[in-house]
Amino acid sequence: MAVLFTGTSELPAGMLNSRELKYLEKTTEKEPEAVIFRYPEFMFFYKINKDGSYGAQAEQSRKAGACLYPLLKKEKSGSIQILNYGQKRWTLPFIEGLFLATYSFNKYKKEKESRVLSELFILDDSISNAELQEIQILTDAVFFARDLVNEPVITLTANRLAEEIRKVGDTVGFTTEILGKQKIEALKMGGLLAVNKGSVDPPTFSILEWNPANKVNAHPLVLAGKGVVFDTGGLSLKPTLRSMDYMKSDMSGAAVVAAVLSAVARANIPLHIIGLIPATDNRPVGNALTPGDIITMHDGSTVEIKNTDAEGRLLLADALSYAKKYNPALVIDIATLTGTAEMITGDVGIAAMGNTPRYLASLKNSGEETWERIVELPLWEEFSESLKSPVADLSNLGSREGQASIAGKFLEHFTGYPWIHLDIAGSAFIRENKGYRREGGTGTGTRLLFHFLKNTDFNSNHAT
């Protein structure tokens, strides 16, 4: 049995004897959780602090669910009854945290870690089957993103990434068109091609589309995800320790875009959504891109390469300029783009910037609801100064200071429509379990964007 409560006075008379009640009160003075064993069963209690926003309370509920799962594993209990003696809206995030905590990436282990959870008995008549189904859909989507991020580049090349996405699309209902190197060359995507120069594997540009008959938006929404399946930094080589060693995660933005499309399709969200995923690895071998090179982008802009480790913005810039063909209502790009963003948000948040206050406000609200919170950074015109080049239209680097905003300013050059940039460099990959966010790829951005897409009014075209 799992019980959410805010104080022992809420618990029904007779649930606990006097000794158990005294133990619960004393234990939850210091820690939110307490366990009372009545062998062969147990009672798990989690005290929710009802001060603060609903988003903060919901996050406590998710943490409670994540806290319960190790106990279920230890006791080898696959069945749990959930009782909520607090606010009705706490049960769903509790289940969400419980589900998300069951993830493990054990594909390459001889001993597989099985998930023990098999049955839930929910005593909360405010919850619908549709809401429970949506939690399962979102959990599956987050796990899909995590699996892609955790897969090493030795097996997940750009082409394999595209094929894995196509397989899921074929199953859930969105379409996937995969453009190979010849087509990318025909489209003159100079950013993607330049980053790919040091690789033995060809690049891909995947176009995902969910276009339901009952769509409510006249102009499509476009999600663009950075798909660098491994980033060595190129000739501007990264250090190996705590920098390059987890760079299989540099395609986290691409994984999130694919995961969101899968969730939207399964939930049958009535929105026309397009996903754009430029993908390659970034290597320092062969005819690799060199500092000082000048490349021509998809939109015709020329870029002087100052640092080959500032490669993600080159891929995304081609995707953003390509998005113009759709006359989009909104474009959101998501990427592990800058170390500066990680310094700002740590591993718990997302740095955002854009030119559309209305949609940014809605996205921030979704961030509070899902606890994938957003810090909005400025896109002041002064940030453009350091992107000036004496030999090209732009430099790909700019100054060290304000680099997250400078990278955003670089991307802004290739837009011309309502646009938001999300930098998930800090939260896309973590090195140890933190509640329902498991070690490795986190899938951060999946729940955020699904909530945003589901709950935002897109009928006002080209809103600012």
Evaluate whether 419 touches 332 at the Cβ level (below 8 Å). yes
Among residues 62, 313, 409, 447, which one is catalytic? 313
Token pair belonging to 427: 């939260």
Among residues 50, 238, 306, 454, which one is catalytic? 238
Closest CA to 304 of 380, 190, 409, 184: 190
Which amino acid, residue 185? E
238 flagged as catalytic: yes
Output phi, psi for 155, to 5 deg: -115, -20
266 flagged as catalytic: no
Q: Supply the residues annotated as catalytic.
A: 238, 313
